[in-house]
Amino acid sequence: MSFIVFNGELSKRDTITVDIEDRGYQFGDGIYEVVRVYNGCLFTWKEHVERLYASAEKIRMTIPYTMEEMKVMMDKLIEKNQLIEGTIYLQLTRGIAPRNHAFPGSDVQAVLVAYTRLGERPVKLMEEGVDALIIEDKRWLHCDIKSLNLLGNVLAHQEALDAGCYEAILHRDGVITEGSHTNVSIVSDGTVYTHPANNLILNGISRRVMLKACESQSIPFKEEAFTVDQLMRADEVFITSTTLEITPVRRINGQPAGVEGQYPVIRQLQESFTAAIETECGSLR
Ligand code: PMP
């Protein structure tokens, strides 16, 4: 794992340093993606790279590479680090310039960094579920942008960890938005509900894989917001993310979420998720 992509080149990790005037370092002025690698293959790469370019556009940043160039670089990185199972983290910042809130001139290029990380599927969590804590969503109103500014998410996640939970489930005025680093969905009377993909949540790629699975399995679903009350009365609750795929929520604020250990719809969706991975990246066994 000793190679990274730095500004379009593969470099040894320990030869690269971050400039103290990088706008990502000083302002969190940048965007990122985490992409899952199965069998050395970038799962749902197209969706991730398109979201990256959409995030760039929303913050008025120019990415100095094409999507195709980006893919070539990531594939080279995976090959060089011989990554079979894990993730790629990639970020772009608005470049290096003397500290000033104003955007730098067009001569300043975005800085790209990407590295790999080993990691297996969290099978135990996906099987047994995780505990969650409901916390007020105090973040900004552009949660659809995969921004490096994650302080609101970090604080919420830490509050959940301090309470012995795995994830924070966030609400605005009693309406559930998403998790600190996941999307949240419930199953109520056989229908899957998840917050609509607007500015209040990140439109998770795993959320989209899950919704496609609903479609192919003929499980009714609604991209409709639900309340804390509906969450607490749901039959099943689950979170989705690139690394957690589809993971059941076992307890919320210490109360059982649905019936503990009974996740019939979640199990169906997990199977479809695995099938989607295998279609794109080959057999997982
Ligand atoms: N919401 C937030 C706030 C996230 O940070 C993430 C990703 N870690 C997600 C949702 C899930 O997105 P994805 O499925 O694309 O990983």
Q: Give the DSSP per-residue string, 50-80.
A: HHHHHHHHHTT---SS-HHHHHHHHHHHHHH
Check which CATH number belongs to the domain holding 250 and give it.
Answer: 3.20.10.10
Residues with CB under 6 A from ligand 1: 153, 178, 181-183, 202, 204-207, 240-242
Tell whether 214 and 194 lie within a shared domain. Answer: yes
If you search the block for the tokens 């794109």, which residue do you land on?
280
Question: What are the angstrom distances between the C-alpha of 221 and each of 167, 191, 196, 250, 277?
Answer: 23, 5, 11, 21, 21
Tell whether 23 and 69 lie within a shared domain. Answer: yes
**Segment 9-48, tens digit of pLDDT:** 999 999 999 999 999 999 999 999 999 999 999 999 999 9
At 207, phi and psi to the nearest 5?
Answer: -55, -40
Q: What is the pLDDT of residue 1?
A: 62
Tell whether 140 and 274 lie within a shared domain. Answer: yes
- 259 band by pLDDT with thresholds 50, 70 and 90: confident
Q: What distance in Å separates the CA atoms of residue 254 and residue 158, rounded to the nearest whole number?
A: 17
To the nearest whole number, what is the mean pLDDT of the chain?
97
Domain termination residue (choose one: 91, 118, 145): 118
Tell whether 91 and 147 lie within a shared domain. Answer: no
Active site residue 80: no
- Residue of 46, 58, 138, 146 marked catalytic: 146
Residue 132 belongs to what domain range? 123-281
Instruction: For residues 266-285, give the mean pLDDT.
Output: 97
Domain termination residue (choose one: 118, 144, 172): 118
Instruction: For residues 242-253, give the mean pLDDT.
Output: 98
Tell whether 94 and 166 lie within a shared domain. Answer: no
* Closest protein CA for atom 2 of ligand 1: 181
Q: At what angle do helices 205-216 and 45-58 cross, to 10 degrees?
A: 130
Tell whether 100 and 12 lie within a shared domain. Answer: yes
**Segment 120-144, tens digit of pLDDT:** 999 999 999 999 999 999 999 999 9
Domain termination residue (choose one: 69, 92, 118): 118
Tell whether 112 and 139 lie within a shared domain. Answer: no
Q: What distance in Å separates the CA atoms of residue 274 and residue 139, rounded to the nearest whole number?
A: 32
CA of 243 to the centre of ligand 1 (A): 9
Per-residue pLDDT for 148 more than 70? yes
Tell whether 129 and 38 lie within a shared domain. Answer: no
CA of 41 to the centre of ligand 1 (A): 20
Tell whether 48 and 74 lie within a shared domain. Answer: yes
**Reduced to 3 states, what is the DSSP secondary structure of residue 179?**
strand
**Segment 77-111, tens digit of pLDDT:** 999 999 999 999 999 999 999 999 999 999 999 99
Q: 178 and 184 in contact (C-beta within 8 Å)?
A: yes
Helix (H) or strand (E) run with residue 126 in it: helix 123-128
Domain count for the chain, please give it: 2
- 285 band by pLDDT with thresholds 50, 70 and 90: confident
Q: Does the predicted TM-score (pTM) go above 0.85?
A: yes
